[in-house]
Structure 1
């Protein structure tokens, strides 16, 4: 089961929860916006899925070790779980906003 904690950890791992700089220059660090975070996560998931598919094809042809295939599939699965956790939290937040009285 995907939890809110898993989604928060995934979001934090992307580095987008960095606090703005409060140094003497007064310039804030440019943080990644949420749309760019989602695009990055989806791209990463796509690359890992393709890498897993490539490893499976190589193993079927006898050119890759089974442990490499299992590792690639596990990585792709973890990446997909992260994207799904974020998606679930976005949907939950949207539903909560829609229930708010105007």
Structure 2
């Protein structure tokens, strides 16, 4: 998939979402969350899953949690972190692609 195809797919999905939320596609239509909000939510999700994993680890050390719960929490935190890192890598690649474009 090329960056242009991904951008078109994202634009189509966003316009469909905005039509569903606001009922129109003009500037007066209700706006959904922006990119910064999506990134902020993703970072908050990673933080929460990491804290949950730390809590499970502490509970395991104290003898109050099962090992499977700790492993599950750590796996969830790892998956969230890998997702954010993949998005970060794609954003950086898109930025570099834009910077290489001739004016």
TM-score normalised over the length of structure 2? 0.75
Distance 1:28 1:94, change over 3 A: same
Q: 2:17 aligns with which of 16, 19, 27?
A: 19
The corresponding residue for 1:88 is 89
Question: 1:30: how far off?
Answer: 2.2
CA–CA distance in structure 1, aligned partners of residues 41 and 84 of structure 2:
10
Structure having the higher helix fraction is 2
Question: 1:19: how far off?
Answer: 2.5
TM-score normalised over the length of structure 1? 0.76
Give the secondary structure class of the aligned counterpart of 1:20.
Answer: helix
Higher relative contact order (CA 8 A, sep 6+): 1
Gap runs ≥5 in structure 1: none
Gap runs ≥5 in structure 2: none
> Where in structure 1 do 4 or more consecutive aligned residues deviate above 4 Å?
none
Question: 1:73: how far off?
Answer: 0.5
Aligned residues: 89
CA–CA distance in structure 2, aligned partners of residues 23 and 43 of structure 1:
30
The corresponding residue for 1:71 is 72
1:22-101 to 2 correspondence within 5 Å?
23=23, 28-101=29-102
